[in-house]
Chains A and B, each alone.
Chain A
Amino acid sequence: MRLLSSRWAVVLFFGITGAPIVLLAYSSITISTASAVTAAQHGAADSAQASAAFIHQRFQDVGAGLDAFADHNLAPAMTAGPAGRPDMGSLSAELVDLTRLQNGVSTAFVTDPRGRLLTVTPAQGDLAGKYLTGDDWYQGVTTQDTPFVAGLSATGGRQDLNAVAIATPIHGQANGATVRLGYLVGLYDLEKIQMFVDDFSAAHSTNLWVIDGAGYVLAAPGLELGSVTSWPAGDQLVARALNGHPDVSRSMRDGVPSLSASAPVPGFRWVVVADVPAPVALQGADQLRATVIAIAAVLGVVLVAGLVVGWTLVRRAQQAAVLRQRMEALARLNEAASSVHAERGPSALQIIAVHARELVGADFSALGVWDAVGGRMAPVAHDATTGLPHAALDDLAVLLVERCQPASGAHRGELGELGVATGETELWEVGPYLSVPLSAGRRVLGCLVVCRREGSPRFHAVDERQLQQMAQHATSVLEKSRVDAEREAFLDRLRETNEELQQASRLKSQFLARMSHELRTPLSAILGFSDLLLEGASGELSPGQREDVQEIATAGRGLLDVLNDILDLSRIEAGRMRLELRPVRLEALLGDVASALRPLALSKSLELRLAVVGGDPPVMADPLRIRQVVTNLVSNAVKFTHAGGVIVRLLTLSREVEISVLDTGIGIPQEALDGVSDEFSQVDGGQRGFTGTGLGLSIARRLVLLHQGTIGVESEVGVGSRFWFRLPVATDAAPRQLVLAAEEGLAG
């Protein structure tokens, strides 16, 4: 709208200021051109008439000269011969005189009254006795009986293209009456006319053409004498002049526009055409035009420059105002946004409703949320100016938000039929309204509606943009609420599952402990009676029986170990493992273990030795459990070593003591190191040909961790392994009991 009016302002400006300039310039040019044309045509007409008069006078003079000569000099000779016939000698002599005296006449001849040639000067023998009655001069002079000027024409069958014939009758007296004795013809040299034309053209910048009645050009600027050039047939300029009417016209002459005028040569059927080339005629007008155009151009430039400057200033002011408005709106939006971000949930939505209303200067705002179950928009917040009855606001909010449909975009318009009573007779009716959807992607979450009282100004696009920004805030609030709710629900489910799992684990451990205990009781009986049998309490056994019972005892003890391991593990998991911690020096303990397992090692031809490096400070430990750990590690080392040996090393560090079991065994692949201490786990699932439950290392790990120690392994396949654990050096001597459930992993 503003742009449109600006355009019209420009048009108006140029209309008011430019039109007079253009009009002035145009009329100046037109008037000057027209007057120049008129002047040129007058000039051409004057030239044509003056030239025609000159030529007329010239031929008049020649004609008069010939006429006088004919009557005075030739008439006597025409009858001086025998029997009143022409005296050829006298005639010839007279003609020679004539051509000498009469300027421009180089050839002359005399005929009898019937047109028969009598004599010619210079002599042309083959013409003698010929009739020249077909010649133009004869046809003319016999008609008018006065000097006649012919055009370009043949004479006596001969063509002299450089001359025109001027004929006059020769009068004489016979029997007291005037009779025609014959005709005198002089051929007048056209070069004389051509010279006049050339001189005139040069002097007056006006081209002259002399044309005879047959349309032949007798003289013209630059005409080559002797050529036969015809004037264009049907040219009205010449045709009218031949009929005695001078004329003016515009024409093209050799491709140059010209202003032309024609004039008849009085007394002859000749015409003079004068041409003023338009560039010459309009020279003054062209100069004036150039000046006018230059002035108009300068004025135009000044106008345009003024307009540009003014326009720029107005534009800048407009842009500044727009910028200010945008800054204010931005500030309001920022304020609203920070308010919203400080709040959550319904209070944030309420703040949005308040800011939305204030932002666009509405009387009422409502924020609706899409109720997918109910299939309708439900108001969740609204705000109103003072003056609206509080009781009616909820209803108004419902009415407004229900008009928003989930799939629709922004709407602006008027609502006439909605209203709320503000008094017994007064009704507050909704007028302009604006609604924008709250949408996340394709989902419509709700809507934000504002309205004004009927009769208020409508909402504009800028209001819509601002409300849409508020709608985005509302959308993010709603989205955040939704995400929060989903996270809470997830955490609740997680807690429940965790509790269930813990309960299951406890039950499992209890089961295992109970079951192990129950299994150990009959196993004790098996082992006990097996020993009794072996000791020969029931009599000496045969070698075969002894071997069988020995098998039973061995298997039973293996089973007992397994049961003990399971029991230990379940105890640990159930958090019922009790450690009797006290300061212990480990060298003796390690020596005991090595001694106990050395027979096993020797049975595989392996060396098993103990190395102590850096002393033997006491560590806080349960010796029973540490022995169990070390025994497990060493027996594992022996089990997985086929050649070489096993070293148990005690290394004292600054605050810890490290016990390492190094072997030259098969080693553990890198990828299997992490799972090596898992329960019931053997590398390759036990396929490498080694027996065992896989519980030992797991128990060892848990026991070390219960001691606040760390445990780890390094290994290389085919080279060997080093299992190690570290225990803190004892700081106080007091023994204590510790019951802990370790959950940490084996350090790599």
Chain B
Amino acid sequence: MVGAPISRSGSYSSEGRLTLQGYQMWLDWVNGQGGIQVAGVRHRVQLVSQDDRSRPDVAGSVAGDLLVHTGVQFLLGPYGSDTSAAVAAVAERYGVPLVAGNAAAQSIFTRGYRFTFGIASLTDQYTVSLLDLAVQLHPRPQTVALLSADDRFSLEIAESARARAASHGLQVVFSQQYPAGSTDVMPLVARAAASRPDIVLNAGHVAEAVAIHRAARALAMDARMFAYSVGPSTPGFIADLGPDADYVFAGVQWTPQVRYQPQMYLTTMEYIAAYRHLFRTLDEPAYQVAQATAAGLALQRAMENAGSLEPQRVRDALARLDVTTFYGRLKFDSRGANETKPMVVMQIQHSRRHTVYPPDVADAPPAYPTPPWSLRA
């Protein structure tokens, strides 16, 4: 029996729904196989989830409740770094392995937790691939305008972006924080435009990203690269921006275009088809779905490797885990973070998302530089 706090209400409800879908993908498959084979015996998996209302305090108490009253033996994480952090503390207290699919904040993995393992690349990786790609493009960008929301997640990203830019010799010509959730960003963008940066890099969320991009168009702020930590991968981004969304870059955990050679479970193509069939949708699975599924797979393979359902032995097996799935390689470092999987870079081209970096998983070359607004329809 596996427990998972899930955000069914509150600000993370849509991402929570995707997370639950990912767990259901895994459950559907593993129980279709007859269950997890542990020491020659197949165990069917039952997932018990409770609404955490997108609040860290609720997530923590839900996790405790699941462990104490429902008798779950293992935990899968909710969506969100802050809720996951609360669950991780509970898991640590009870000595129960937690595989967090959708938690990227570094702070979770710097507390010396032994029972928490994260599938996602951490915030310090979010812009690394973006900037790595940028410096390989021609003409090579020289300057960066760094915008950042003031939440912990965004600040961590901005900080790592600053460091990465420095290491690439990129000059940060503008750097500004703004309150998370701001949509009145016109003055901010105007000031950024004044610094005439080659790269506009925003560390924030979807709403800010749409607002900043609309402002850029309105102000005809031309840059060679518009890059957003979060936003372009969500469905509404294109619907909101239409053709204006073209050329936008983003760092993402996973795209449906990546093609790894899985050692277990499905290929990406099979995963997409299975997702569409299971949920009767034409959508491709979002990365939150893929990460949740990967979390389930990590837990499953650890149980198989441990040959036991004893928490400590499963925890040890997680620490030793090294397996490649449709999501990429799963191998946890000493903090419990999955550092081996790179972030991929996506770009919107003709209102369609394409993976453009790293080259081995890309399905299209990057479109660069972004043409000036004056030349766009």
Contact A132 B282 (CB under 8 A): no
* Cα A113 to Cα B242 with chains together (Å): 11
Q: How far is A152 from B238 in the complex, measured between Cα atoms in Å?
A: 20
Task: Pick from A139, A154, A157, A228: contact of B352, CB below 8 A.
Answer: A139
Contact between A152 and B282, CB atoms less than 8 A apart? yes
CA of A156 to CA of B235, assembled, Å: 10
Check if B282 sits within 8 Å of A157, measured CB to CB: no
**Whose C-beta in chain B lies nearest to the C-beta of A232?**
B273
Contact A157–B276 (Cβ < 8 Å):
no
Question: Smallest distance from the beta carbon of B249 to chain A beta carbons, Å?
Answer: 17
Please state if B238 and A134 are interface contacts (CB–CB under 8 Å): yes
**A: number of interface residues (CB 8 Å):** 25
Complex CA distance for A227 and B236, rounded to whole angstroms: 24
A658 to B276, CA, bound (A): 139
Query: Contact: B352 with A114, CB < 8 Å?
Result: no
Residue of B nearest to A229 (CB): B277
Interface pair A138/B269, CB less than 8 Å apart: no
A interface majority secondary structure: loop
What is the bound-complex CA distance between A116 and B240, given in angstroms? 9
Interface size class of B (residues with CB under 8 A): 20 to 34
B374 at the interface (CB under 8 A from A): no
1/0 per position for B204-246, CB-CB distance to A under 8 A?
Answer: 0000000000000000000000000000000110111111010
When the two chains form the complex, which single residue of A156, A157, A228 contacts B280, counting CB atoms closer than 8 Å?
A: A228
CB contacts (< 8 Å) of B283 on chain A: these are 154, 159
Q: How far is the CA of A153 from the CA of B281 in the complex (A)?
A: 9
A131 part of interface (Cβ distance < 8 Å): yes
Contacts A159-B281, A227-B280, A230-B277 given; indicate if A132 touches B352 (C-beta within 8 A).
no
A133, B243: Cβ atoms under 8 Å?
A: yes
A230 touches B239 (CB 8 A): no
- The smallest C-beta distance from A233 to any residue of chain B, in angstroms, reads 7
Among A116, A138, A228, which residue has the most Cβ atoms of chain B within 10 A? A228
CB distance from B289 to the nearest CB of A (A): 15
Q: Tell whether A131 pairs with B242 under 8 Å between CB atoms, given A157-B235, A230-B276.
A: yes
Is the CB of A43 closer than 8 A to any CB of chain B?
no
A118 to chain B, nearest CB (A): 13
Q: CB within 8 Å of B: which of A132-189?
A: 132-134, 138-139, 152-154, 156-157, 159, 161
- Tell me which residues across on chain B come within 8 A of A229, comparing CB atoms: 277
With known contacts A130-B240, A229-B277, A161–B350 Cβ distance under 8 A: no
| Count of inter-chain pairs, beta carbons less than 8 A | 61
Nearest B residue to A152 by beta-carbon distance?
A: B282
Q: Nearest chain B CB to A604's CB is how many angstroms away? A: 115
Q: Give residues of chain B (237-260) contacting chain A, Cβ–Cβ below 8 Å.
A: 238-243, 245
A138 to B352, CA, bound (A): 11
List residues of chain B with CB within 8 A of the CB of A431: none
Return the contact of A133 from the options B242, B273, B281 (Cβ within 8 A). B242
Are B242 and A154 touching (Cβ within 8 A)? no
**Is there a chain A Cβ closer than 8 Å to B375's Cβ?**
no
Question: Within 8 Å of chain A (Cβ to Cβ): is B41?
Answer: no
CA distance in complex: A113, B377 (Å) = 10
A226 at the interface (CB under 8 A from B): yes
Bitwise, B263-283 to A at CB < 8 A (1) or not (0) is: 000000100010011001111
A131-B352 in contact (CB<8A): no
Contact of A115 with B280 in the complex, beta carbons under 8 Å: no
Residue of A nearest to B274 (CB): A230
Contact residues in A for B240 (Cβ distance below 8 Å)? 130-131
Q: Is B351 an interface residue (CB 8 A)?
A: yes
Taking CB atoms and an 8 Å cut-off, the chain B residues in 328-377 that contact chain A are 350-352, 377
B321 to chain A, nearest CB (A): 30
Is the beta-carbon distance between B351 and A133 smaller than 8 angstroms? Answer: yes
State whether A139 touches B282 (Cβ < 8 A): no
Instruction: Name A302-320 residues within 8 Å CB distance of B.
Output: none
Contacts of B236 in A (CB 8 A): 157
Report whether B269 and A131 are in contact in the complex, using a CB–CB cutoff of 8 Å. Answer: no
Chain A residues near B242: list those with CB within 8 A.
114-116, 131-133
B282 touches A134 (CB 8 A): no
Q: Please determine whether A138 and B282 come into contact, CB atoms closer than 8 angstroms.
A: no
Question: Cβ of B282 and Cβ of A156 under 8 Å apart?
Answer: no
Q: Are B243 and A131 in contact (CB under 8 A)?
A: yes
With known contacts A153-B282, A227-B280, A133–B269 Cβ distance under 8 A: no
Q: Which residues does chain B contribute within 8 Å of A139, judged by CB atoms?
A: 350-352
A114 to B280, Cβ gap below 8 A? Answer: no
Assembled-state Cα–Cα distance A392/B31 (Å): 105
- The one of B238, B273, B280 in contact with A131, judged by C-beta atoms closer than 8 angstroms, is B238
CB-CB under 8 A from A116, the residues of chain B are 242
CB distance from A665 to the nearest CB of B (A): 106
Find out whether the CB atom of A228 lies under 8 angstroms from the CB atom of B281.
yes
Chain A residues with CB under 8 Å of B269's CB are 233
Q: Which residue of A lies closest to B236 (CB)?
A: A157
State whether A228 touches B277 (Cβ < 8 A).
yes
Q: Are B282 and A114 in contact, with the CB atoms below 8 A?
A: no
Evaluate contact between B282 and A131: CB separation under 8 angstroms.
no
- Are A114 and B377 in touch, CB under 8 angstroms? yes
The verdict on A130 contacting B282 (CB below 8 Å), with A114-B377, A228-B277, A229-B277 known, is: no
A51 to chain B, nearest CB (A): 24
Q: Which of B239, B280, B281, B350 contacts A130 (CB 8 A)?
A: B239
Contact B282 A115 (CB under 8 A): no
**Which 7 A/B pairs are nearest by Cβ-Cβ distance?**
A131-B242, A133-B351, A134-B351, A130-B239, A134-B238, A133-B242, A228-B276
Besides A114-B243, A116-B242, 9 new A-B residue pairs in contact (Cβ under 8 A), listed by A number: A114-B242, A132-B239, A132-B242, A134-B352, A139-B351, A154-B282, A156-B239, A228-B277, A230-B277
8 A–B pairs (Cβ distance < 8 Å), ordered by A: A114-B243, A115-B243, A131-B241, A131-B245, A134-B238, A134-B351, A138-B351, A226-B280
